[in-house]
């Protein structure tokens, strides 16, 4: 992490005091009052985004919520140096991009401070151009710093057509950098991208559970060598089902004694990997924003004992966690169902408590696929699933609760 960010231990205590707790424990009330308007708070550290040379805040504001009614939060994020902002046309039920647009209209001078990212869910050249132009219009932006193909898992989409489209959009000044986000088949996606030479950035699911696997380490190393900027998302490592775990209780009380929450410790674990440029977190309210900022400013390293306990928790709760290795289960069922997506939507429902978002996502699965979900034999997929997830049972639950 940058040493030039004003983040000395002394400054950390200054922000901790501003947080009202003298520790990393969040205190929304104290923060809502904040420091005096004219004060100059410390800023979260920055890191270089791949070979682009661009400095981005190590904490990115995930705008999966209604930013239109949350303008104060955007202002606070800027004050604390959270200048990497991430959105998508579908976020906040369509109100995320619009809300960022309202903010830039009101404070046009702030656009240059922000590393602004959106995504396209259309992947053909015509769809990409339409999606980009609509996003530019909604956000009142003249350009995006980074433009992603949204949530892809097929390396075949990284073809010459896509490369030429990105090159042209850059030449037109509409985007500065290009890449993709991915939740599934991630390691293969990263390895494929590392060989291309025209992918600038990738946002991937990355957390304390999977960051240490050999496959993920190799994929991250390959991107790092290729100069691709990496942004971690879904860093809390939540699962499709919540699993009771003794290790989780121990984890929580261990960190509380040291002044962190376990949620903050999970962010800190990701930041301990220097090959990750930024960590994107959904921060729909001031308490989460300030809690995450405090974690970003903390310079204490997690110990080997901390990481061992996290590992124990990961092992105990593994049957509820799906790391998106869809080439295993979806191949076993002849690609008749998007198992990885369904597990993610259940995660939104069961672990994030975001029922509307889970249902909206589930509704995007083609009707004919949804209609036959309960008739598919998932036994081959269950036998191969490395997490031993009860796929058939969870798919039935998804149909019942999200359908």
- Residue 210 binds ligand SF4, judged by CB under 6 A: no
Q: Is 314 in the site for ligand SF4 (CB under 6 A)?
A: no
User: Which residue, 241 or 309, is less far from ligand SF4 as judged by CB?
Assistant: 241
* E-assigned strand segments in 89-226: 115-120, 144-149, 175-182, 201-205
The residues facing 148 across adjacent strands are: 119, 179
Minimal distance, residue 394 CB to ligand SF4, in Å: 8
- Kindly state whether residue 251 participates in binding ligand SF4, applying the rule CB under 6 A: no
Q: What angle do CA 311, 327, 197 make, to 5 degrees?
A: 90
Pairing of strands 46-48, 55-57: antiparallel
Among positions 132, 152, 391, 402, the unique one binding ligand SF4 when judged by CB under 6 A: 391
23 binds ligand SF4 (CB under 6 A): no
Among the listed ranges 27-35, 102-110, 349-357, 382-390, the one in contact with ligand SF4 (CB under 6 A) is 382-390
Q: Does 204 bind ligand SF4 (CB under 6 A)?
A: no
Distances (CA, A) of 14 to 19, 35, 239: 9, 10, 35
The residue within the footprint of ligand SF4, chosen from 6, 92, 99, 323 (CB under 6 A), is 323
Report, in this order, helix, strand and coil percent for the chain, each rounded to 5: 50, 10, 35
299 vs 388, beta carbon nearer ligand SF4: 388
| Binder of ligand SF4 out of 268, 385, 398, 402 (CB under 6 A) | 385
Give the C-alpha separation, 44 to 17, whole Å. 16
Q: In the numeric block, which tokens belong to residue 240? A: 């499709």
Q: How far apart are CA 24 and CA 298, in angstroms?
A: 8
| In the block, residue with structure tokens 């339409």 | 130
329 binds ligand SF4 (CB under 6 A): yes
Q: Please, which contacts does 158-165 make with residues 24 or more away whose CB atoms are closer than 8 Å?
A: 158/192, 158/193, 158/196, 158/199, 161/124, 161/125, 162/123, 162/125, 162/128, 163/196, 163/198, 164/125, 165/125, 165/128, 165/129
Among the residues of 140-245, which ranges form H helices? 160-171, 186-194, 214-226
Q: Which stretch binds ligand SF4 (CB under 6 A): 8-16, 83-91, 319-327, 346-354?
A: 319-327
CA distance 126 to 168: 12
Rule CB under 6 A: say whether 392 interacts with ligand SF4: no
Q: How many residues bind ligand SF4 (CB under 6 A)?
A: 15
Among 67, 76, 182, 326, binds ligand SF4 (CB under 6 A): 326
Q: Does 387 bind ligand SF4 (CB under 6 A)?
A: yes
Instruction: Collapse the DSSP code of 130 into the 3-class scheme (helix H, G, I; strand E, B; otherwise coil) and give the result.
Output: helix
**Least separation in angstroms between CB 391 and ligand SF4:** 5
Decide: is 237 part of the binding site for ligand SF4 (CB under 6 A).
no
How far is residue 94's CA from residue 97's CA, in Å, rounded to a whole number?
A: 7
Identity of the residue, 57 or 387, whose beta carbon is nearer to ligand SF4 in the bound complex? 387
Stretches 30-38, 62-70, 141-149, 320-328: which one binds ligand SF4 (CB under 6 A)? 320-328
Collapse the DSSP code of 231 into the 3-class scheme (helix H, G, I; strand E, B; otherwise coil) and give the result.
strand
Residue 328 binds ligand SF4 (CB under 6 A): yes
Site string for ligand SF4, 273-312 (x = CB under 6 A): ----------------------------------------
DSSP secondary structure code for residue 155 in this structure: G
**Cα–Cα distance between 180 and 202 in angstroms, integer?**
5
Select from 6, 89, 201, 324 the one that contacts ligand SF4 (CB under 6 A): 324
Stretch that binds ligand SF4, among 76-84, 146-154, 279-287, 322-330 (CB under 6 A): 322-330
Q: Examine residue 6 and tell whether it contacts ligand SF4 (CB under 6 A).
A: no
Residues that bind ligand SF4 (CB under 6 A): 322-326, 328-329, 339-340, 343, 385-387, 389, 391
């Amino acid at each position: 992490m940058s040493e030039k960010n004003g983040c000395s231990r002394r400054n950390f205590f200054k922000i901790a005091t501003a947080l009202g707790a003298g520790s990393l424990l969040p205190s929304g009330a104290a923060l809502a009052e904040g420091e005096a308007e004219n004060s100059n708070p410390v800023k979260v550290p920055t890191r270089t985004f791949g070979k682009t040379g661009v400095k981005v805040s190590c904490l990115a504001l995930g705008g999966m919520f209604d930013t239109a009614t949350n303008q104060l939060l955007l202002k606070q994020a800027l004050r604390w140096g959270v200048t990497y902002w991430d959105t998508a046309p579908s976020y906040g039920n369509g109100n995320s991009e619009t809300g960022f647009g309202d903010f830039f209209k009101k404070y046009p001078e702030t656009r240059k401070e922000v590393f602004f990212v959106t995504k396209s869910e259309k992947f053909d050249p015509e769809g990409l151009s339409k999606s980009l132009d609509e996003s530019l219009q909604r956000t009142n932006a003249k350009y995006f710093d980074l433009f992603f193909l949204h949530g892809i898992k097929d390396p075949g989409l990284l073809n010459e057509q896509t490369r030429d489209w990105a090159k042209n959009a850059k030449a037109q000044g509409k985007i500065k950098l290009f890449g993709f986000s991915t939740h599934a088949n991630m390691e293969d996606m990263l390895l494929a991208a590392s060989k291309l030479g025209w992918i600038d950035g990738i946002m991937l699911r990355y957390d304390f559970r999977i960051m240490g696997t050999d496959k993920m380490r190799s994929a991250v190393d390959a991107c790092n060598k290729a100069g691709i900027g990496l942004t971690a998302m879904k860093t809390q490592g939540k699962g499709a089902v919540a699993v009771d775990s003794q290790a989780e209780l121990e984890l929580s009380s261990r960190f509380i004694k040291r002044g962190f929450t376990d949620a903050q410790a999970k962010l800190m674990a990701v930041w301990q990997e220097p090959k990750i440029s930024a960590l994107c977190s959904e921060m729909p309210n001031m308490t989460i924003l300030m809690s995450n900022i405090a974690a970003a400013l903390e310079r204490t390293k997690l110990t080997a004992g901390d990481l061992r306990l996290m590992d124990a928790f990961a092992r105990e709760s593994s049957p509820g966690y799906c790391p998106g290795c869809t080439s295993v289960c979806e191949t076993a069922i002849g690609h008749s169902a998007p198992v990885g997506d369904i597990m993610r939507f259940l995660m939104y429902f069961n672990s994030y408590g975001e029922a509307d978002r889970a249902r909206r996502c589930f509704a995007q699965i083609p009707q004919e696929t949804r209609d036959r979900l309960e008739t598919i034999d998932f036994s081959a997929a269950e036998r191969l699933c490395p997490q031993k997830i009860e796929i058939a049972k969870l798919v039935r639950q998804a149909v019942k609760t999200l359908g």
